[in-house]
A and B are shown apart, each in its own frame.
Chain A
């Protein structure tokens, strides 16, 4: 069997292997860790992106581990939605690592922690990729826990009091939620006898009616727990502190990527384990999805409104991430295929946009010592590149044309109009308008605010920080153009999942 047949499992093993060797390298020569991590991230990205041609909506790549088929063994499956998120994850990880070259070195004390920081970045990549491609419910929750613990470590690496406290709070949340997921898996296993996601759907379909309430309770528990992990308002109390107190890449990681993983888990729950074509629990699934969708609408609008009250730029970005989660889940919970695809596209777009916002904020406030908004007055004229990066990201978040945010939002709205859900669409317009106003005020403050005090001691940000941020900003526009190629594939994939083909 050629190596390319093992392509799916390499997605997890390659970053994991790099991560295992990273601490050893760090003990030998600390400066090697950055290059080793960068090599690992580039290799993983190459492996992921090279799958783009191979995976089609009708033909996902499957791989049986150990030669056993489900339900006796595990299977991994790379399909179009998973691949879309995987490409985003691996691309953003390269950006994080390059950005961390100076940023981590300056902010992390003592420097002996740096090898483990890079190891954790590789581990979070491995965890996320493994999570995206798995076809087994229990494996899903184990890798979600791995991703969250790694993210926890990445936030705590700075060692400041705030970072440690918020990281501990997040760890308690994740640990408690993992127990909830284990319980839900247990319920589902006791009435079906398998843990493979596709087989679960078939077993739920053919279930004796006496056991159906158990499956319904399992579904509710899954959705409840995953909604908290996805930081869906009002279960998002843990996110702002966590995003603000760590390094810039750490903030972007938790508020866009890790919560996108939880949203993807909800997608898997609603479309693979409990797909729309199930008859036995069709009513329960519709009710669950509808309530999730309405909470998503609430989260989107409330997140945007809370953005307006923030005095700190990083906190503002964190609340924008909370708003984005609402949009993603609103899409996933909708009943039209294009809306669901729009939700997934929003997750990808949100990951890139929020990353760009955090990194742009870091570059903008480099050397300032503060991220409070009133101190940014007029900064745009002293640091035009950084301000441009933040502006492009803000435009993408608000969904203005030519950006990936626009493509995703347009797809979502088209889907909502397909099924005649005009009320959520109206709320989307409201929330978008609020977010646009908040960002417009920010950009105006940056460029047209009063004359800043002449501070010649302000150092320019290093190129290794500006360049990654600029690349992400450029990709927001590039992806907006490229999305017209990817979107039909995602819609087709969602449709086939929904119909059970």
Chain B
């Protein structure tokens, strides 16, 4: 029984996988911009998950045009949640990119040996990289 439901719920499964791929990027990538891209992927996955939850039947229109059949309209609440998620993610993305840019600009002005570790990296690896670059 649960087997057949899993195939029906494939949209949810794919959305969850997208979130996990984004999470992998956030954890393992060293560059700040790549981490931000991972965040965006995660947020997209979450939005996909929520929107898939709102589906009813084959997904008729959401607008109450005259003569609509109430039974075919899709659930409006997940769309509301997705919109608010979009607002949050716009803000977070802007802030994360601002921080990444400021850190990067500050690093550029310092000589390579004194460069502090990148986000999530250990100090020794950064020093090694600095030496390898120069």
Contact = CB atoms under 8 A, between A and B. Distances in A.
Interface string B83-114: 01100110110011001101100100000000
B103 A168 contact: yes
Interface in A130-178: 138, 142, 145, 149, 152-153, 156, 161-162, 164-165, 167-169, 171-172, 174-176, 178
Given A145-B88, A183-B19, A183-B46, A164 B95 contact: no
Nearest to B120: A169
Given A142-B84, A182-B85, A186-B50, A175 B103 contact: no
Interface residues of B, number: 35
B74 interface: no
A387 to B, nearest CB: 33
A179 B42 contact: yes
Contact of A138 (B81, B89, B96, B100): B81
Contacts of A183: 16, 19, 46, 49
B116 interface: yes
Given A152-B95, A161-B103, A161-B106, A172 B49 contact: no
B99 A176 contact: no
A189 interface: yes
Contacts of A190: 53
Contact of B46 (A168, A179, A189): A179
B97 to A, nearest CB: 10
Contacts of A164: 99, 102-103, 106
Contacts of A153: 95
B128 to A, nearest CB: 19
Interface string B107-127: 000000000110110000000
A137 to B, nearest CB: 10
Nearest to A164: B103
Contact of A189 (B53, B95, B103, B116): B53
Contacts of B19: 179, 183
Contact of A169 (B42, B89, B106, B119): B119
Contacts of B45: 179
Interface in B32-90: 32, 35, 39, 42-43, 45-46, 49-50, 53, 77-78, 81, 84-85, 88-89
Contact of B43 (A142, A172, A179): A179
A195 to B, nearest CB: 8
B95 to A, nearest CB: 6
Given A178-B88, A183-B19, A168 B119 contact: yes
Contacts of A165: 103, 116-117, 119
A186 B49 contact: yes
Nearest to A168: B99
A367 B84 CA distance: 45
A176 B120 contact: no
B21 interface: no
A172 B91 contact: no
A171 B99 contact: yes
A186 B9 CA distance: 14
Nearest to B89: A175
B99 A175 contact: no
B115 to A, nearest CB: 10
Contacts of A178: 88, 92
Given A165-B103, A182-B46, 4 more contacts: A164-B102, A168-B99, A172-B26, A179-B22
15 contacts: A142-B84, A142-B88, A153-B95, A161-B106, A161-B116, A167-B99, A168-B96, A168-B100, A175-B26, A175-B39, A176-B42, A178-B92, A179-B42, A182-B85, A183-B19
Interface of A: 138, 142, 145, 149, 152-153, 156, 161-162, 164-165, 167-169, 171-172, 174-176, 178-179, 182-183, 185-186, 189-190, 195
